[in-house]
Amino acid sequence: LFIVAQDVHMPLYHILFHFWTIFFGTSTEAIRFMSFLFFVACLPFIYLLARTVVSRPWALFAATLFTLSPFANWYANEARMYTLLALTSIISQYFFVRIMKGQKNSWPWYTLAAIVGAYSHYFFMFGLLAQAIFYFFNVKRFPKRTFVKFIGVAVAVIIAISPWIIYFLMQGAASTTRPRIAEPTPIDFFNVYSQFIFGFQSIGINTMLVSAWPLMVVLALVTVRRFTNPTFPVSYILVAAIVPVLIAFTLSFIISPFFLSRYMIAAVAPICILIVWLLARYSKKVAITVSVLLVLLSSTLFIQQMRSQQTPVRENFQQVSDYITKEATPRDAIAMSSPFTVYPFEYYYKGTLQIRTLPPWDRQNPGPVSAFSLDTLPKQVDDLKKGHEYIYLILSYDQGYEEAIRTYFRDNYELVEQKTFSPKLTLLKFRVGYNDPVSFSK
């Protein structure tokens, strides 16, 4: 809890993960399987949510689209909290629609989903905010006394998470561990939805997909205008698919850039349901034809994402670890440009070389990672190179100073090897000393 409180995450996943590894171990399969179970648990709730707006066959197809989603499957196979965030968000969306329809027995479940979701990820709150916005624009269409009950839910959530928020603030509010993310552009906004539907593809494929977005939006609007106006539940599904992403996009300019598609995974299920709802407006022949094409496209891109070495989010720490284990000698050292990436590297690395991070991170002592400084970098590198012949510099996640570290090494030491293991994971080998003693004469 102490470590999580110094990062940018809520603790529920990590608590569950702690006990999961006690029972099932820490093999690669074991530590990823809990996320996969959350992904599987999403499917019945997507079906139930879709049933509020479409027939049973189309609801099953919505669940199928989510099952084949390259984006959702990527995080179903990572030891991270994003499928838990998706699950709690879908449950919240489902019971919110039931509340819209006046089903009073939904309030306890909606409250529970709100509390559990809030402990899953900070961005779950964007989904609750989208629900609040939808309510205030449609207050007359909700059952009586709904406002009072929503206030009660809000109070319950605030009380439930306040101990963690206080503890989080006491630990410095992640002031030195927040990832440095570039300010988003309109292209990034459309790129997020491209990833939701088509997953993480190479630059060439992604460029073609994003360029087709204007046409797809026009076709969707024409479909809605031609066949029918959205029903009350469909209007909310549309809000759930767009508003949380818009909130994150806007706040990235006001507060701090944090616009990453994985943070908005709660919008994936509503997107799948909207696609199915639009297809259901067409004739049976057209709808079935397009559905088959969608399944083929999703399956193809799923396989492409899984097999391609150019998948932009791929991080082959196992390969770089195996390579260093095979090539390095006891006189070498390892430096990592982004301190927190030491964890996935150490998981795979079984060698004995010294591993340092730049900037240095003393994990034996409580406290945050030291801030990067170009003034202190020369001394940090000098301390690292003592007694070593080569330094293996691993460049992985750019925290805003990766290029400064790369430039310093290249300007001061001999680059003898460079290998790229995945799009953003590069290994540089620098000579920083010599094995043989050098004698000098007058």
Confidence band of 441 (pLDDT split at 50, 70, 90): very low
pLDDT for res 400 = 81
- Local structure of residue 316 (DSSP, 8 states): -
What is the Cα–Cα distance from 292 to 423, expressed in whole angstroms? 32
What is the Cα–Cα distance from 153 to 438, expressed in whole angstroms? 74
Pairing type for strands 332-336 and 414-422 reads unpaired
What is the Cα–Cα distance from 253 to 294, expressed in whole angstroms? 35
| 55-89: pLDDT as tens digits | 999 999 999 999 999 999 999 999 999 999 999 99
Residues 6+ away with beta carbon under 8 Å from 60? 47
For the full predicted model, state whether its pTM sits above 0.75.
yes
Confidence band of 227 (pLDDT split at 50, 70, 90): low
The residue ranking higher by pLDDT, 171 or 87, is: 87
pLDDT for res 442 = 38
Pairing type for strands 332-336 and 390-395 reads parallel
pLDDT for res 33 = 96
| 370-419: pLDDT as tens digits | 778 889 999 999 988 888 999 999 998 888 889 999 999 999 999 999 99
The residue ranking higher by pLDDT, 426 or 354, is: 426
pLDDT for res 242 = 94
- Starting at the edge strand found earlier in the chain, the sheet holding 390-395 runs 354-357, 332-336, 390-395, 425-431, 414-422
Pairing type for strands 354-357 and 414-422 reads unpaired
What is the phi/psi pair of residue 392, to 5°?
-90, 110
pLDDT for res 257 = 84
One-letter identity of residue 138: N
Percent pLDDT > 90 in the chain is: 60
Helices 268-279, 186-198: crossing angle, 10 deg rounding: 70
Alpha helices in 228-363 (DSSP H): 232-254, 268-279, 284-307, 317-327, 342-348
